[in-house]
Amino acid sequence: MLRKLSLTALAAALVASGAAFAQEDHGEEGESHSAAGDHSAYIENYSFSFEGPFGSYDEDQLLRGLQVYTEVCSACHGLRYVPIRTLSDEGGPNMPEDQVRAYIEQNGLEVWDPALRDYRPATPNDNFPMSSLANAPDLSLMAKARVGGADYIASLLTHYTGEEMEQAGSIYYENETYGGYLAMQPPLSDGYVEFQDGSPNDLHHAAQDVAAFLMWAAEPHMMARKAMGFTAVLMLGLLSVLLYLTNKRIWAPIKARVKDQTPAE
């Protein structure tokens, strides 16, 4: 009975660890298909610091990504579900609070205040502004909303084919990752953004930096979730060992008795 129990506990531990690690798998497809178009969509597999069961966000990369977002993407896209103060979060960009305030001021971030019925300067407690271009989707949850996550975003920015198409007065741009034509012109190019830390600012690096930042925006507590999953696996493992030992101990006298009574051959 107890042996069965310990086996069950072991199985539970294995299932739990499977589940905990399976969650990390997104973003490692290498190549997968998106629902966006009917063409076969290509998603490049990048190596991000936050992948794997022990991966974590790279603070410097998040800060570079914030810079790309601010200087390029925010012209059209918003991050309306992300509180600005979370830029100070540990495990995130970890920006000192005074720098967050300076960031707001330097970039003139404003939010709509329904009470004033006007825009006012943002405070750290406000969320990032919403998209300023009506047809540009909000990016707060984009990294979770697309198959491939951060890989999808970095891939999207780097896989324009150069083909354009005009339809009803608007221009559409062909993109392999999108799997068709989309209304966003290539927003980034080599050397477009200048990083203060002198990091490479070619298209591929800048695209990965902003993709990492958007992954953090969509899932700021990824590290905590991973730590919790790991603790759960550890506890279940410990429990199985304890159950196994208890089982042995309880049956030991009975086993010894049975052994004594078996006639020697």
Max distance between CA atoms of the chain, in angstroms, equals 97
What's the number of CA atoms in the CB half-sphere (13 Å) around residue 244?
Answer: 11
In 3-state terms the chain splits into helix, strand, coil percentages (rounded to 5) of: 45, 10, 45
Please report how close the Cβ of residue 193 comes to ligand HEC at its closest, in angstroms: 9
Query: Where are the alpha helices (H) located in 23-107, listed in sequence order?
Result: 59-71, 97-106
Please report how close the Cβ of residue 162 comes to ligand HEC at its closest, in angstroms: 17
Nearer to ligand HEC, 13 or 142 (CB): 142
Kindly list the distances between the CA atom of residue 100 and the CA atoms of 105, 119, 177, in Å, as whole numbers in the listed order.
9, 19, 34
| Identity of residue 135 | N
- Residue 171, beta-bridge partner list: 166
Please report how close the Cβ of residue 111 comes to ligand HEC at its closest, in angstroms: 20
18 vs 22: CA distance, rounded Å: 6
Please report how close the Cβ of residue 32 comes to ligand HEC at its closest, in angstroms: 13
- Give contact residues for ligand HEC (rule: CB under 6 A): 36, 68, 72-73, 75-77, 133, 135-137, 142, 146, 153, 156-157, 178, 182-184, 187-188, 210
| Identity of residue 153 | I
Question: Which uninterrupted H or E stretch holds 229?
Answer: helix 222-261
Please report how close the Cβ of residue 231 comes to ligand HEC at its closest, in angstroms: 33
Please report how close the Cβ of residue 17 comes to ligand HEC at its closest, in angstroms: 32
Contact 34, 152 (CB under 8 A): yes
Nearer to ligand HEC, 64 or 146 (CB): 146
Nearer to ligand HEC, 93 or 187 (CB): 187
Q: How many CB atoms lie within 10 A of CB 165?
A: 11
